[in-house]
Amino acid sequence: MKYINALLGLSGVLWWIFAYVLIAYRGIKDKTYGIPLIPLAFNLGWEFVFSFCFPLNVYAQVTNALWFFCDLGIVYTYFKYGYSSFNAFYGLEKKQWYLISGFAFLIGFLFNFLGYPFFSQYLTQFPSAEIPVFLAWMMLLITPASMLAMFLQRKNSQGQSFIIIASMIVGNFFFILQFFLHPFYYKWSNPFLVLIVTVSVIIELYYAKLLYKQLLKEGINPWKRF
């Protein structure tokens, strides 16, 4: 069972690395960005904090660092191509956009940096090693919801691919299996935590369905667009 859980966790990590690489690639290809500002800022903050500030163990530090450096490619596409989208939809000046973006990344860092000691101090029945997992799933709830909103706003498949969202779904599937098989994660059978995971999966599946239909509408084979 120990090796099965390790394999499930590693599989989830690798599928998410694949998704991150594809998001950066798609962003460069389409000259846009694939993850909206808020989830991008909070994800990057989480990866930095739990790689370099509060690493739980060597394995977690290495995997989180891999995600962090992959995410930097997505951050590059955001700052390279993001202003045109914000200007088109919100009429922001470039200086305003930089200020808002910088503030979002700062808050994303502080939320995780200050949130970890807060939860570890006041949620004494919640193991410290599970706090990063809880924070991560809160962000995994926000991320597909924000990507869905971005897709509906753009009304096209720019910056996205069905393979990307499918990779995210598969990666989360391995993590979910790990939660319910590993005795360490016994609290994830709690209805509130099950609700978080369930809603995030429903949003991902709904978004995948809409994106798949949109790609077909645009005459693109969803299985060949990376």
75-133 confidence digits (pLDDT tens): 999 999 999 999 988 889 999 999 999 999 999 999 999 999 998 888 777 778 888 98
Separation between Cα atoms, residue 226 and residue 211, nearest integer Å? 13
Separation between Cα atoms, residue 83 and residue 74, nearest integer Å? 14
What sections of the chain are H helices per DSSP? Answer: 2-30, 37-48, 58-90, 94-122, 131-154, 162-181, 191-217
pTM as predicted: 0.93
Q: Residue range 182-210: average pLDDT?
A: 88
Is 3 exposed, middle or buried, given 0-12, 13-18 or 19+ CB atoms closer than 10 A? exposed
Residue 196: pLDDT band with limits 50, 70, 90: very high
Neighbouring C-beta atoms of residue 107, cutoff 10 Å = 14
Report the percent of the chain where pLDDT is more than 70: 97
